[in-house]
């Protein structure tokens, strides 16, 4: 019965991983961030391998035009010098990412994409110049690099951050390219990409009727074959990343499978690599060879065979605390209510300072709620998962290794290595008496003196002894006297 229940749970974990992946992909597409994932990155690398040589030739042709213009006086288009401002790989990457990010928006014309490509190239040149000027400014002095300080305040640098930082660095000299020249550079690069990779990008001519006139515009979009290929890659990746759940059946012991050439263990039907590795040779080699010592596998199998269950008492308290919003119990504050909007009459009667106070109050609440939203969602998933497995008499947590040999649980959210609320929701399924030493550590471990006294009094009542007699008989004759001063087991 537990085996069939476990198989049903593994099917459920695959479905949950699929739903989560689709939701995350939809959010990325809504914000033009779909191509930050692994499937799209592989596609970008494939296109870049073909496109970089063409951009290199494109820059060489621009250089020859510049030379011919300086020697013969032939009028240039203005974009030739801009093409030499950045290396070919940078120009190629800006072009590919700009057009691919617009792949699901068919209304973006060649002119719009060209303007974005030229602006991003101009921004990259100014960013490189600003970093060089800042390094020269602090060279040989004790002053700190301002750009490095700004970079420590964000997780990822994006164009919005760069524009804001460049505005703050008023003493840094930047250059703004002419709008017409930026558009010409971006247009040449966009059309060059369509000519280089016609199997991936299509140049379409669209006729639109506006105010009784036919307007012709050109758009660039990904080909249907590329869209289908990306969708297939996303589908495979979503299946390969299930949302792992605790097991109700004892995990399979990890062992080397000679026929498959890999380590098998853990879940009954869902394969999980024993060692989480990266793309580097020194770590990826761990997955193709029988390199894990047997003693490590034995220890890992012992760890994942520990029998757990849900602590229903703690679960009831945590669930009620979440419903009632008890801050003293919850590890994450609940969402604060947004201040009411000020009416138009009251708003018109406020001066600039009063309006700033109102805006700041709403901004603080919004930032607070947005900052803790991920933690609140994680708390909700932990409690929902604990409720789901609350009726199970025993649950297990299969483990895997990283390339250093450290063991981690496979299930997400609820496991023994999670935060305080997750660990408090778990307890051992097989109880074991504390014994004399266990009671001693329990008496000495609490930080609060009242708690220590309460545990000691409880121990006295259970043993029926006086405090002095109990303290004198805690350690046996063969135990080290130094443990009398221990505060942790």
Inter-helix orientation angle 110-138/179-196, to 10°: 110
Residues 422 and 442 in one domain: no
Residues 326 and 420 in one domain: yes
Residues 51 and 122 in one domain: yes
Taking Cα atoms as reference points, which of 222, 197, 220, 221 lies closest to residue 111? 220
Q: Which domain holds residue 96?
A: 32-232
Is 5 part of any domain?
no
The rounded distance, in Å, linking the Cα atoms of 220 and 189 is 12
The domain boundary residue, chosen from 232, 261, 281: 232
Cα–Cα–Cα angle for 81, 84, 85, rounded to 5 degrees: 95
Residues 323 and 463 in one domain: no
Residues 416 and 282 in one domain: yes
Is 305 part of any domain?
yes
Is 279 part of any domain?
yes
Residues 153 and 127 in one domain: yes
Q: What is the pLDDT of residue 225?
A: 84
Domain count, the chain: 3
Residues 425 and 441 in one domain: no
Residues 356 and 458 in one domain: no
Is 463 part of any domain?
yes
The domain boundary residue, chosen from 430, 456, 471: 430
Is 54 part of any domain?
yes
Residues 211 and 264 in one domain: no
The rounded distance, in Å, linking the Cα atoms of 81 and 132 is 20
The domain boundary residue, chosen from 430, 447, 475: 430
Is 10 part of any domain?
no
The domain that holds 173 is classified in CATH as: 1.10.1320.10
Residues 399 and 458 in one domain: no
Q: Who contacts 482 (Cβ-Cβ below 8 Å, separation ≥6)?
A: none
Is 1 part of any domain?
no
Q: Who contacts 256 (Cβ-Cβ below 8 Å, separation ≥6)?
A: 262, 263, 290, 292
Residues 87 and 60 in one domain: yes
The rounded distance, in Å, linking the Cα atoms of 23 and 99 is 23
Taking Cα atoms as reference points, which of 384, 338, 336 lies closest to residue 358? 338
Residues 210 and 343 in one domain: no
Q: Spell out the per-residue pLDDT of the chain, length 489, in tens.
A: 678 888 999 899 988 888 888 888 887 777 666 666 777 788 888 889 999 999 999 998 888 888 887 777 767 767 888 888 889 999 999 998 888 876 545 457 888 899 999 999 999 999 998 889 888 888 888 888 888 888 887 777 788 888 888 888 878 888 888 888 889 999 999 999 999 988 888 888 877 777 777 777 888 888 888 888 888 888 888 887 888 999 999 999 998 888 888 888 999 988 888 887 655 555 555 656 667 888 989 999 999 999 999 999 888 888 888 777 666 666 677 778 888 888 888 888 888 888 888 888 888 888 788 777 878 888 888 999 999 999 999 999 999 988 788 899 999 889 999 888 889 899 999 877 777 777 666 666 555 555 556 656 655 655 554 444 434 444 344 443 333 344 433
Is 118 part of any domain?
yes
Can you read off the two tokens belonging to residue 268?
């009954």
**pTM of the predicted model as reported, rounded to 2 decimal places:** 0.65
3-state secondary structure of 28: helix
Q: Who contacts 310 (Cβ-Cβ below 8 Å, separation ≥6)?
A: 386, 389, 390, 392, 395, 425, 426, 427
Can you read off the two tokens belonging to residue 426?
């778990």
């Amino acid at each position: 019965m537990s085996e069939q229940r476990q198989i049903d749970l593994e099917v459920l974990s695959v479905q949950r991983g699929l739903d989560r992946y689709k939701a995350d992909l939809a959010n990325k597409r809504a914000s033009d961030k779909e191509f930050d994932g692994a499937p799209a990155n592989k596609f970008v690398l494939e296109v870049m391998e073909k496109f970089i040589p063409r951009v290199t030739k494109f820059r060489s042709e621009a250089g020859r035009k510049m030379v011919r213009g300086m020697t013969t006086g032939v009028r240039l288009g203005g974009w030739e010098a801009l093409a030499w401002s950045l290396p070919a790989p940078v120009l190629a990457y800006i072009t590919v990412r700009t057009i691919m990010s617009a792949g699901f928006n068919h209304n973006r014309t060649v002119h719009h994409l060209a303007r974005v490509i030229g602006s991003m190239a101009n921004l990259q040149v100014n960013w490189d110049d600003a970093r060089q000027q800042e390094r020269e400014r602090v060279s040989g002095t004790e002053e700190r690099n301002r750009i490095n300080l700004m970079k420590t305040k964000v997780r990822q640098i994006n164009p919005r951050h760069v524009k804001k930082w460049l505005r703050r660095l008023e003493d840094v000299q930047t250059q703004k390219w002419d709008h017409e020249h930026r558009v010409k550079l971006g247009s040449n690069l966009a059309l060059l990409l369509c000519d280089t990779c016609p199997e991936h990008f299509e140049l379409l001519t669209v006729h639109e009727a506006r105010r009784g006139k036919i307007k012709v515009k050109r758009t660039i979009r990904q080909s249907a074959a590329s869209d289908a290929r990306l969708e297939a890659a996303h589908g495979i990746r979503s299946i390969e990343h299930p949302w792992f759940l605790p097991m109700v059946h004892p995990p399979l012991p990890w062992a080397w499978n000679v026929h498959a050439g890999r380590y098998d263990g853990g879940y009954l039907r869902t394969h999980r690599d024993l060692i989480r590795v990266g793309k580097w040779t020194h770590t990826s080699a761990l997955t193709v060879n029988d390199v894990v010592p047997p003693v490590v596998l034995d220890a890992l199998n012992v760890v994942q065979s520990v029998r757990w269950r849900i602590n229903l008492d703690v679960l009831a308290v945590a669930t009620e605390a979440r419903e009632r919003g008890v801050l003293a119990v919850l590890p994450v504050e609940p969402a604060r209510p947004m201040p009411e909007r000020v009416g138009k009459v009251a708003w018109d009667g406020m001066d600039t300072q009063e309006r700033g106070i109102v805006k700041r109050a709403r901004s603080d609440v919004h930032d607070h709620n947005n900052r803790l939203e991920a933690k609140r969602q994680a708390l909700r998933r932990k409690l929902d998962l604990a409720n789901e497995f609350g009726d199970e008499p025993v649950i297990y947590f299969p483990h895997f290794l990283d390339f250093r040999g450290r063991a981690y649980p496979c299930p997400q959210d609820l496991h023994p290595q999670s935060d305080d609320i997750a660990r408090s929701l778990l307890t051992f399924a097989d109880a074991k008496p504390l014994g004399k030493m266990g009671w001693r550590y329990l008496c000495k471990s609490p930080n609060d003196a009242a708690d220590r006294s309460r545990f000691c009094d409880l121990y006295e009542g259970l043993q029926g002894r006086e405090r002095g007699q109990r303290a004198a008989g805690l350690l046996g004759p063969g135990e080290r006297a130094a443990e009398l001063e221990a505060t942790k087991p």
